[in-house]
Amino acid sequence: MAEAGSGLASASRTCRVPERAKLHIAMTIFQLGYAVNHVIMRVALNMGVSKLVFPFYRNILALLALAPSAYFLEKYGDYFEKKRPALTISFLIQFFFLGFIGITLNQGFYIFGLDNTSPSLASATENSVPAVTFIMAALLRMEQVHLDRKDGIVKVLGTIASVAGALVITLYKGPTVYTPNSPSNKPHISSLGDAEGKNWTIGCLCLVGHSLCWSSWIVLQAPVLKKYPARLSFVSYACFFSVLQFGAIAATIERDPRSWQVHSGSEVFTIIYAGLVASAMVFAIQIYVVDRGGPLFVSMYLPLQTLLAALIATVTLGEEFYLGGVVGAALIVAGLYLVILGKSEESKYLSENEPIYSVSENNDMESTFIRPLLGSKLQS
C-alpha cells in the first residue's frame, strides 16, 4: 500500500508542470487576450459605443469578477494569497488616485487614441511602457543609472530608442506600405487614421498618454503594495473607484439616454470580453506573473502582443500598415529589448558584487525593478 502511494506521488511530481512553463503559458494567454482586445475595442468603436459609457460598463464587470476572488482568497490569507491589512483612510485615498491614474485615465486615453488610430498602432505604442517606467523610476530614485557600466549605457540607449519610436509614430504617418489583398471582402475600415472626423496626431498623443499612465501605475503601486500586499484587494479597490469616476464623468458628459443603451448582441459581447478578459483576467495574470517572475518577465512578452494584434487586425479588419508606424514600432521593440538586456546585465552584476538595492540602504527600500527575469520561486 505504501509502495502504491509512493508511486502515485512520484507520478504526480513527474506530471507536474514546471513553474517556468506556467509563467510562459500564462503570459501567452495574457498577450493573446489583450491583442484580441485591441481589435474588439476597434469593432466596438465602429459600432458607435460611447467612449465614456463603455469603460464604465467594462469596469463594473471587472469589479464583479475580481471582488469575490479578493474577498475569499485574501480574507484569512493562505498559501496562495497574502492576508489583507486593515483598511485605513490613507489606503482609500491612495487606491482612489491609483485607480484614477492606472485605470480611469489609462483606459480613457487608450480608447480615445484607438478611436483615432488603429489596433496595431495602439499595441505598438504600449511597447514603450518599460522604457517610460525606467525613466520614471530613475527620476524617483527607485532605479539607479550607472553610465560607467555596460548595463547603464544599454538601458539609456534602449530608453532613447523607445522614446524615438514613439515620436516617429506620433509625428510621421508616412505612406501605406501594406494593404490586404482583398479589401472588398473586409469591413470598410481599412484606413482607420483617415476616417472622417479622426485625427491621427491626436490619437497618437492619446496613446502616448495611455503609456505614461500605465507606467505611472506600475511605478506608484510599488510603495503601496509594500504596505498593502493583498494584490487582488488592491486591484479591486482601484477598480471600484474607477467605476465611480467613469460613472461621474459619463453622467456629466453623456446626457443622451441612448448613449447608455446597449443596442445589439455584438455590443454586449464586446463589453463582456473587455470586462472579463481584458480587465479581470489580465489583472489577475499580471499580478501572478509579476509576483513569480518579476516585472521584466511581463515586459518581455509585449512584442508578442503587437505581432498578434497586427495579424488579427489585418485579417479581420483589413487594416493597412503605414511607414511611420512600422519604423516607430521597430524602434520601440528594439528599445524594449535593450532595456531588458541592460536589466539582465545589471542583475548579474549586482548578484556578483553587492546586494540588490535600487536606493541607498539607509532608505531600506528594495527596487521592484531590479529582479532576475526568473526569480528563486522558479527553481522547481
Cell representation of residue 294: 518579476
At 197 the pLDDT is 57
At 332 the pLDDT is 77
pLDDT by 10s per residue, the chain, length 380:
545 555 544 444 545 667 767 887 888 888 888 888 888 888 888 888 999 999 999 999 999 999 998 888 877 655 455 567 888 999 999 999 999 999 999 999 999 998 888 887 788 788 777 777 777 877 877 767 777 788 788 878 887 887 787 777 767 778 877 776 654 444 444 333 344 457 888 888 999 899 899 888 878 877 887 888 888 888 899 999 999 999 999 999 998 888 899 888 889 999 999 999 988 998 878 777 766 666 656 666 776 677 677 777 777 777 677 787 788 878 877 887 887 787 778 778 777 775 544 444 444 444 444 443 333 333 33
Backbone phi, psi, residue 27, to 5°: -70, -30
At 299 the pLDDT is 65
At 17 the pLDDT is 67
- SS3 letters across the chain: CHHHHHHHHHHHHHHCCCHHHHHHHHHHHHHHHHHHHHHHHHHHHHCCCCCCHHHHHHHHHHHHHHHHHHHHHHCCCCCCCCCCCCCCHHHHHHHHHHHHHHHHHHHHHHHHHHHHCCHHHHHHHHHHHHHHHHHHHHHCCCCCCCCCCHHHHHHHHHHHHHHHHHHHHHHCCCCEEECCCCHHHCCCCCCHHHCCCCCHHHHHHHHHHHHHHHHHHHHHHHHHHHHCCCHHHHHHHHHHHHHHHHHHHHHHHCCCHHHHCCCCHHHHHHHHHHHHHHHHHHHHHHHHHHHHHCHHHHHHCHHHHHHHHHHHHHHHHCCCEEHHHHHHHHHHHHHHHHHHHHHHHHHHHHHHHCCCCCCCHHHCCCCCCCCCCCCHHHCC
Q: In this structure, which amino acid lies at residue 81?
A: E
Contact status, residue 339 vs residue 131, Cβ threshold 8 Å: yes
Distance, CA of 195 to CA of 335 (rounded, Å)? 31
Contact status, residue 34 vs residue 274, Cβ threshold 8 Å: no
Contact status, residue 344 vs residue 373, Cβ threshold 8 Å: yes
